[in-house]
Each structure stands twice: as C-alpha cells, then as structure tokens.
Amino acid sequence: MKRLLNNMYRPVNPSPAALITSVDEKGKPNIITLGEVFNVSIKQPVIMGIAIRPATYSHYLIKKTGEYVINLTTSSLVEKVDLCGSVSGRNGIDKFAEFGLTPEASSFVKPPIIKECPVNIECRVAGIQTVGDHDLILGEVMAVHAEDDMIDEQGGLNLGRPGLLVYVTGNYWALGEKLGSHGFARRK
Amino acid sequence: MKRLLNNMYRPVNPSPAALITSVDEKGKPNIITLGEVFNVSIKQPVIMGIAIRPATYSHYLIKKTGEYVINLTTSSLVEKVDLCGSVSGRNGIDKFAEFGLTPEASSFVKPPIIKECPVNIECRVAGIQTVGDHDLILGEVMAVHAEDDMIDEQGGLNLGRPGLLVYVTGNYWALGEKLGSHGFARRK
C-alpha cells in the first residue's frame, strides 16, 4: 500500500557518498562529503555535476578556484566519509590530518586526489547555476585515476568488485551482490 | 597502484537504475531506464535532475508534454528494468504490457506511476539544457508516492530496508548491508 509523502526531502536514491576536494588560494586543501554527485554528459565531453549548498566553505573554494576532485569511496572508509561531512573546513581544520586521509598530487588541477579512494575524478568548472536551495556545478572531467584492478582492458572503468560506498536517504550502505550487466535480460 | 583511464566514460557511481515514465499527446505511456537521475535542490523547492540523450523517444515525449515520473526500482525488478532500457518505445511497443509492469494514475501529472516500483516521484519540467551529449532536465517534484513501510513518522522517505536496485558502470547490483546513518562517526 502506497501513500503520498508529507516531506519530499531528497527522494532519489541511491547516490555515491563522495569526498570532494578543493583548495584555497594558498593551496591548502579541504574536503566535503556530498551525496549529490552524478554523470551528465557521458562520453564526449565527459561532464559531471555536483549540487552543493552555497553556504559551504567548499562552495566558496570551488567557485573561487574553478577546480575540484570527486573521490569515490568504499565501505571501509565510511567513518572518515561521515566525519568529513560533519565539520566545516572554514575554521582551518585540516581534514586530511584530522581524519587520516592522504593527499596526493592531481595531474591537471590544484586540488589533491585522496589516496585511499579507489577512483578520483579531476574536474574544471564549466558552469555554476542556482537551483533552489543548492548550486548545481557542472565540471568537465580532465582525468580519472583508478586502482589497477578497477580498469578494464580498454582502459575504462570497471567497478566489478564490491566495496563502493552507497548513500541512501541519510544512511550509508555497502553494495551487496552483482545481479547482471546491462543487456543481460535481452540476451537471455 | 593507480593509473589514469584512457576511456573516462561515466565515472561517477553508483546511481539509481530508475524507470522514467512519460506519455504521448494521446496519453499512451512509455518507459525508459536511466542511471542519470539525481537530487539537485533538496528541500525547498524539491528539484530533481535527469540526463537523457536527445535521440530517445522519452526525451521527445518529456520535452513535448513537460511531465515525467521517476520510479525507483528494486532488485526483484532487475530483468524488467534491463528490458525497458533495451528497446525504444518509438515504434509503438507497450512496455507495460510487454514486460509485465502496471501503470497507475499519478496525482498531478499525466504520466502514470509504476505500481511495482516502491517510490514514484512526479515531476514537472522546470528547465532543459544541453550539456555535452545529454540534455539535462530539471524537474520540480509535485508529489512522491512510497510504500507504507518506506515512510517515517514525519511522513518522509525512509529507505531503511534493503531491496533498492543500484547501477554501477554497466552493471546492476543489490544493496548489501547498512553501515551507519549520517553523523554516526561523530556521535561515537
């Protein structure tokens, strides 16, 4: 039996629980946890979107510098992911040091990639627009780093092992089992 | 050990494997499977985004009528989800009848909700923009239907049981276990 929600807060699920890195003018990095991270243009060019509250320090940094990195996370990182999303970087906290994460140099942008995250997506801002209570930031992908065992023979991403962290209406979940690949039902 | 991808196709994961319903001018419904479905404005107003290829029949219908429904799916629907994403509705196929799904009336928009999907999000188009190889469609949420046991005491969404279907770079996955709720690490 279905009912209509009184409170329609954030109805689309699941999403990534991603860590977004940015830097200030002196190069000091910050991290924010975002669930609103998504593919928009898939192939040519590759453009990602994030939706972020204008009040956040990361919003200020990304708007100022025009660069950010989307770092995908795994279940084993769930505590660090939650902590990065619980405090603002505005007061000078070093979230890398505080929460045990390791910054590594990116290839094309100033914000670092996070070593512990298996996939790191370097982005340059292509546009910022206000959409309701969030700003929608579109970013062109400059490079994607991935762990060796997440790369297929053609050099593409193959997240074919479990481990990715999933965000579902305020909760963190682990991925369970693989059920099939695109087209499997038609091929049967 | 990490490497740079040669092929950066669709790097952000996971996403929903959602069924989007739309209608033609005579009210005949169509269904398309999309992974690019996401929250943008979370609370006030509630605005969702979908990214869809301009060549699809559903793109034509949504642009024409200005309405669509996002239907979230479960693992038990994985074959139907895959089939809905494997053929175009342009040639007149009735995907509801063909793949065993049941249309039910929406509250505010013409496209039907899908009975078998536990969450149905009625949307009116707020804007369409071309972003690379996809069109980004923003839609204001008019109503959200959910199964009784997915609604919390305040009338909000609580997807606190497993079952949601997850899309990860070309593969369908089941959710595994719940690891914690937002803020758990800080509260410890």
CATH of the domain at B58: 2.30.110.10
Nearest to B133 among A16, A44, A75 (CB): A44
Looking at this predicted complex, what is its ipTM? Answer: 0.96
State mean pLDDT over A43-56.
96
Place of tokens 């479960």: B74
Name the residue in chain A with its Cα closest to that of B158.
Answer: A169
Residues of B in contact with A185 (CB under 8 A): 78-80, 82-83, 86
CB atoms within 10 A of CB B57: 16
Strands B29-34 and B2-4: unpaired
* Residue B140 C-alpha, separation from nearest chain A C-alpha, in angstroms: 10
Q: In this predicted structure, what is the pLDDT of residue A43?
A: 93
Is the Cβ pair B16, A13 closer than 8 Å? yes
Question: Is the per-residue pLDDT at A6 higher than 90?
Answer: yes
As a whole number of angstroms, the distance between CA B54 and CA A46 comes to: 16
Q: Position B159: which residue type?
A: L
Q: Please, what is the average pLDDT of chain A?
A: 96
Asked if B36 and B57 count as a contact pair (C-beta separation under 8 A), the reply is no
Whether residues B157 and A10 touch (CB distance < 8 A) is answered with: yes
Which residues of B are less than 8 Å from A71 in CB distance?
none
CA distance A5 to chain B (A): 5
pLDDT > 70 fraction of chain A, expressed in percent and rounded = 100
Distance in angstroms (rounded) separating the CA atoms of residues B158 and A168: 9
Taking an 8 Å cut-off on Cβ atoms, the answer to whether A175 and B173 are in contact is yes
pLDDT band at A187; cut points 50, 70, 90: confident
Establish if B152 belongs to a structural domain. Answer: no
Distance from CA of B71 to the nearest CA of A (A): 9
Q: Pick the closest to residue A39 from B141, B97, B24, B52 (CA basis).
A: B52
Contact A172 B186 (CB under 8 A): no
Q: How many domains does chain A have?
A: 1
d(CA A22, CA A65): 8
CB-CB under 8 Å, A158 with B5: no
* A29 within a domain of the structure (yes/no): yes
Helix (H), strand (E) at residue B95: helix B95-99
Which residue is associated with the tokens 């199964």?
A: B147
B109 to chain A: which residues are within 8 Å by CB?
A: none
Residues A154, B7: C-beta atoms closer than 8 Å: yes
Give the pLDDT score at B44. 86
Question: Considering only CA atoms, which of B144, B14, B135, B8 is closest in space to residue B70?
Answer: B144
Beta carbons of B170 and A181 less than 8 Å apart:
yes
Show Cβ contacts of residue B66 under 8 Å, excluding neighbours closer than 6 positions: B124, B125
User: What φ, ψ does residue B150 adopt, rounded to 5°?
Assistant: -110, 15
Is residue A139, in this structure, part of any structural domain at all? yes
How many A/B residue pairs have CB atoms within 8 Å? Answer: 346
Identify the band that residue A186 occupies on the pLDDT scale cut at 50, 70 and 90. Answer: confident
Q: A118: cis peptide before it, omega within 30°?
A: no
What is the pLDDT, as a whole number, of residue A162?
Answer: 77
- Quick check: is A22 in a domain? yes
Confidence (pLDDT) at B96: 98
As a whole number of angstroms, the distance between CA A167 and CA A18 comes to: 9
Q: How far is CA B91 from the centre of its chain?
A: 23
Rounded to a whole number of angstroms, the distance from the CA of A89 to the nearest CA of chain B is 15
Mean pLDDT, residues A146-156 taken together? 94
How far is it, in rounded angstroms, from Cα A130 to Cα A134? Answer: 6
Backbone angle region of A163, left / alpha / beta, with phi > 0 → left and psi within -120 to 50 → alpha: left
Q: Do B11 and A48 touch (CB under 8 A)?
A: yes
Buried b (16+ CB within 10 A) or exposed e, B61-100: bbeebbbbbbbbbbbebbbbbbbbbeeebeeeeebbeebe
Q: Answer whether residue B6 is part of any domain.
A: no
Token pair for B89: 């509705």
pLDDT in tens, chain B (188 residues): 999 999 999 999 999 999 999 999 999 999 999 999 999 999 989 999 999 999 999 999 999 999 999 999 999 999 999 999 999 999 889 999 999 999 999 999 999 999 999 999 999 999 999 999 999 999 999 999 999 999 999 999 999 777 999 999 899 999 999 999 999 998 88
- Return the closest-CA partner of residue A177 out of B157, B166, B48: B166
Task: For an interface test with B, give the residue of A36, A70, A168, A177 to mutate (most B CBs within 10 A).
Answer: A168
pLDDT at B161: 76
How far does CA B68 lie from the centroid of its chain? 10
Q: Residue A188's pLDDT is what?
A: 81
Cβ <8 Å between A175 and B170: no
Is residue A138 in a domain?
A: yes
Q: Tell me, yes or no, whether A113 lies in a domain.
A: yes
Cβ density class A73-99: b for 16+ within 10 Å, e for less: bbbebbbbbbbbbeeebeeeeebbeeb
Look at residue A115 and tell me if it is in a domain: yes
A138 contacts B131? CB cut-off 8 A: yes
Contacts of A155 in chain B (CB under 8 A): 5-7
Lowest model confidence (mean pLDDT) among A114-128, A160-174, B52-66? A160-174
Residues in chain B: 188
With contacts defined as CB-CB under 8 Å, which chain B residues touch A134?
Answer: 40-42
Which residues does chain B have within 8 Å of residue A154's beta carbon, measured at their own beta carbons? 6-7
Its domain, for residue B72, covers 15-146+160-187
Per-residue tokens: A46: 């590759």
Q: For residue A43, give the 3-state DSSP assignment.
A: coil
